[in-house]
Amino acid sequence: MKKAVLLLVDGKIFEGLSFGSHGEVLGEVCFNTGMTGYQEILTDPSYCNQIVTMTAPHIGNYGINNEDVESDKIHVKGFVIKEESLAPSNWRSEKQIGDYLRENNIVGIQKIDTRSLTRHIRDNGAMNGIISTNDFNLKSLKNKLLQFPDMSGSDLAKVVSCEKSYNFSNKIKGKFRVATIDFGVKRNILRLLNDLGVDVTIFPANITYDEILQFKPDGIFLSNGPGDPSAVTYGIELVQKILGRFPVFGICLGHQILALALGAKTFKLKFGHRGINHPVKNLKNSKIEITSQNHGFAVDLDSLPKNVITTHINLNDNTSAGLECEELNAFSVQYHPEASPGPHDSRYLFKKFIKLMNNAKKN
């Protein structure tokens, strides 16, 4: 370990020790309150261009394995923790988290007051920051920061999306064919659809409407992903053409893109929702679901058109957590019902998607 520094764009500075690789990295600094799931967080494409702070004090307790990944690489730009666990204890563990970061050339910082950093972000909002282990000149670091783009207006779906379509069916021949639009899809979403007998094919975010028609899907899944949803104009235009022709299910960024395609608006949250313990109320049955969330933007509830209903509300701040347009066979949620480390309260939504496709086939 060597000296490391984290500088925020507003001038707040934290000094600590290096964690993972040495070097320098810039990104939007945010925080995640989950006590588990750090490997899923690291490999979640939704964290593209972000420096993630973990609020749990010890990270790496149960090590790293080759199964608990949500994509084929680490997507976070940088990682901030209080302290690395150097002796992981779990029968599935294959390596330490520090080794994992070094192998993937991910720069991080540890031995800082993550509680202070989290409170600063909560009070002042998520903001750009820089981690460096080789440049400690504040003026130099600030100049680099000022050149880094803000998350607002950034289309990052095109950065993380697949370049060409591929099938993810685990050699099953499903009853339903689903076209997944890859804005940054997580693997556990695909696994759960497979488990329900769905033959899943993943398409790039910029797929055309004609290509969708040629595939002849039974349903369309709009995946999670990073960045500003309003910047994904090609995705919004595609969904507008799809609506009413195929059943549609969206998650996270897919939820926001569906809302925009229906005529609603989105806005940037002050510091976002990131964790695995966010309470959401299902307005249809008044049940409370504990959910996994990771997003920095939200749908403006006041902008929803008359034919769209709110189905779920985030109980922490009363923001949109789900919507539905029955006449167009489309629904979406802002959170992650597939949550690999848990909780699993909301996995019924995948069965709802199956039912929607089954009814569409009958009709």
Q: What is the third-level CATH fold of 157-362?
A: Rossmann fold (3.40.50)
In whole angstroms, what is the distance from residue 335 CA to residue 291 CA?
7
In whole angstroms, what is the distance from residue 250 CA to residue 323 CA?
10
In whole angstroms, what is the distance from residue 244 CA to residue 239 CA?
10
Q: Which CATH number fits domain 3-146: 3.30.1490.20, 3.50.30.20, 1.20.120.80, 2.60.120.620?
A: 3.50.30.20
pLDDT values of the chain reduced to their tens digit, one per residue, 363 residues: 899 999 999 999 999 999 999 999 999 999 999 999 999 999 999 999 999 999 999 999 999 999 999 999 999 999 999 999 999 999 999 999 999 999 999 999 999 999 999 999 999 999 999 999 999 999 999 999 999 999 999 999 999 999 999 999 766 677 899 999 999 999 999 999 999 999 999 999 999 999 999 999 999 999 999 999 999 999 999 999 999 999 999 999 999 999 999 999 999 999 999 999 999 999 999 999 999 999 999 999 999 999 999 999 999 999 999 999 999 999 999 999 998 888 899 999 999 999 999 999 888
In whole angstroms, what is the distance from residue 180 CA to residue 155 CA?
19
From the list 294, 292, 266, 295, the residue with the least C-alpha distance to 279 is: 292
pLDDT at 1: 82
Q: Give how far Cα 246 sits from Cα of 195, 221, 330, 358, Å.
A: 21, 10, 8, 11
Cβ count near 83 (within 10 Å) = 17
Q: Give how far Cα 256 sits from Cα of 85, 151, 329, 331, 346, Å.
A: 37, 15, 16, 11, 18
Sorted by where each begins, the domain ranges of the chain are 3-146, 157-362
In whole angstroms, what is the distance from residue 250 CA to residue 132 CA?
37
Q: Give how far Cα 354 sits from Cα of 196, 220, 239, 248, 329, Å.
A: 8, 11, 19, 11, 12
pLDDT at 172: 64
pLDDT at 342: 82
pLDDT at 72: 94
In whole angstroms, what is the distance from residue 79 CA to residue 31 CA?
10
In whole angstroms, what is the distance from residue 296 CA to residue 290 CA?
19
According to DSSP, residue 149 is labeled: P
* Catalytic residue annotation: 252, 336, 338
Q: Give how far Cα 227 sits from Cα of 66, 124, 295, 355, Å.
A: 27, 20, 9, 31
Tokens of 69: 């990944």
In whole angstroms, what is the distance from residue 67 CA to residue 87 CA?
20
pLDDT at 249: 98
